[in-house]
Amino acid sequence: MAFLADALSRVKPSATIAVSQKARELKAAGRDIIGLGAGEPDFDTPQNIKDAAIDAIRRGETKYPPVAGIAPLREAIAQKFKRENGLDYKPSQTIVATGGKQILYNAFVATLNPGDEVIVPAPYWVSYPEMVALNGGTPVIVDTRQEDGFKLRAEALDAAITPKTKWVLLNSPSNPSGAAYARDEIKALTDVLLRHPHVWVLTDDMYEHLVFGGFQFTTPAQVEPGLYDRTLTMNGVSKAYCMTGWRIGYAAGPDALIKAMEMVQGQQTSGACTIAQWAALEALSGPQDFLPGFREAFERRRDLVVSMLNQASGLNCPKPEGAFYVYPSCAGTIGKTAPTGRTIATDEDFVSELLESEGVAVVHGSAFGLGPNFRISYAAADETLEEACRRIQRFCGSLR
């Protein structure tokens, strides 16, 4: 009898975590490595948010929290959805978890039965299909195209829906492509979903505040109120508020789903860290005046990286609408020979040879379900990005 669960055979390790770990190991061994694999802002958590956590400690807010979150934070989440997204939720329709990952996982634990299908557009965040598989569901991967901006088209969504479809998972702006859906693009998708009342929408809005060039963010339940009763809208404080290590995600949705997710969480981790929740309360309800500065910095970096990568032989890098990633195609390098003498046959070969030759760590696109591409996180200092892009240009120029 095998000791480990059969479910593990359906799951792959996280490629993004693996790349970051490899970069750390090479740095520790003395290599000059530029790591652009992690999806983590390089800015520090704003001081008022840190102060709120310190104040919470001093007040003795160090006991077990309610499973679904402290009452003031759930109220602030409801207010945030009303203020920023035009969505009316009661605090009881919200839930707080240990990061956005747990929100997604709780939703799948609470709803998936063996054979249930979840539509996942590719390229996707590496954890989506693995979470579905771990919970007995079947991820249905629907490829997007670079010429469509890496966005799911309505006809492709319609074709992927079957009687077994339970969820469609949308992420805008996207990790890894940075693609963000405009209102009319979301409306085209929600029009399809109105025709399929058994399909629910799980929308990952984690990069909501990181959109550029006057782009107007919208979310599915806001665009189509008819989907309100079958939409789980997920968000968090990690990206916009530079709080990755605080581990706070949140969501709002129909009462029955939120109650089911609370029951799952009650038997799993219980409530998220109390101190981090008080910090998140300050993030959502305190001053927001630093957000435009963060956006401007990321937009400048995006433009720098896109420009420099498009000057590299064999690369083609579209300009994304948001997040802090670019997803260039390396199709023009496939079949060429690297300085090591090895042939580049895949995007995984490309990133491996790039790390070996120039010490730049990026993530291969096939890990996100669509290649030959690779993902760069430009959440790094401008000078770091410039040096990384110079190395990538040099590496591409060295291929024969």
CATH number of the structural domain spanning residue 297: 3.90.1150.10
Give the model's pLDDT for residue 98.
98
Give the model's pLDDT for residue 24.
83
For strands 363-364 and 374-377, give the pairing.
Answer: antiparallel
DSSP states of 58-98 as a string? Answer: HTT--SPPPTT--HHHHHHHHHHHHHHH-----GGGEEEES
Give the model's pLDDT for residue 372.
97
Give the model's pLDDT for residue 384.
96
Structure tokens at 326: 């670019």
Count CB atoms within 10 A of the CB of residue 136: 15
From first to last of the 400 residues of the chain, give the pLDDT tens digit: 889 988 888 787 777 777 778 888 888 889 999 999 888 899 999 999 999 999 999 999 999 999 999 999 999 999 999 999 999 999 999 999 999 999 999 999 999 999 999 999 999 999 999 999 999 999 999 999 999 999 999 999 999 999 999 999 999 999 999 999 999 999 999 999 999 999 999 999 999 999 999 999 999 999 999 999 999 999 999 999 999 999 999 999 999 999 999 999 999 999 999 999 999 999 999 999 999 999 999 999 999 999 999 999 999 999 999 999 999 999 999 999 999 999 999 999 999 999 999 999 999 999 999 999 999 999 999 999 999 999 999 999 999 9
In a domain, residue 56? The reply is no
Residues 273 and 311 in one domain: no
Q: Pick from 262, 285, 308: which residue ends a domain? A: 285
DSSP state for residue 2 in the 8-state scheme: -
Give the model's pLDDT for residue 244.
96
Q: Which domain holds residue 154?
A: 63-285
Tell me if 355 sits within 8 A of 37, measured CB to CB: no
Vertex 314: Cα angle to 392 and 151 (nearest 5): 95
Residues 140 and 218 in one domain: yes
Tell me if 139 sits within 8 A of 108, measured CB to CB: no
Give the model's pLDDT for residue 12.
79
Residue 197's Cβ-count burial label (10 Å; 0-12, 13-18, 19+) is exposed
Tell me if 165 sits within 8 A of 192, measured CB to CB: no
Residues 357 and 281 in one domain: no
Residues 164 and 77 in one domain: yes
- Amino acid type, 351: V
Tell me if 324 sits within 8 A of 208, measured CB to CB: no
In this prediction the pTM is 0.95
Residues 67 and 200 in one domain: yes
Residues 295 and 342 in one domain: yes
In a domain, residue 50? The reply is no
For residue 113, report the phi and psi dihedrals to the nearest 5 degrees.
Answer: -115, 160
In a domain, residue 303? The reply is yes
Tell me if 277 sits within 8 A of 248, measured CB to CB: yes
Residues 266 and 130 in one domain: yes
**Longest alpha-carbon distance in the chain:** 64
Q: Pick from 285, 312, 328: which residue ends a domain? A: 285
**270 backbone φψ class: left, alpha, beta (φ>0; ψ -120 to 50):** left
Domain of 79, CATH number, reads 3.40.640.10
In a domain, residue 49? The reply is no
Residues 268 and 148 in one domain: yes
Alpha-carbon span 16 to 9, nearest angstrom: 19
Condensed to tens digits (0 to 9), the pLDDT of residues 194-249 reads 999 999 999 999 999 999 999 999 999 999 999 999 999 999 999 999 999 999 99
Give the model's pLDDT for residue 19.
75
Residues 263 and 147 in one domain: yes
Residues 294 and 268 in one domain: no
Give the model's pLDDT for residue 186.
98
Q: Pick from 267, 285, 303: which residue ends a domain? A: 285
Tally of domains within the chain? 2
Residues 324 and 278 in one domain: no
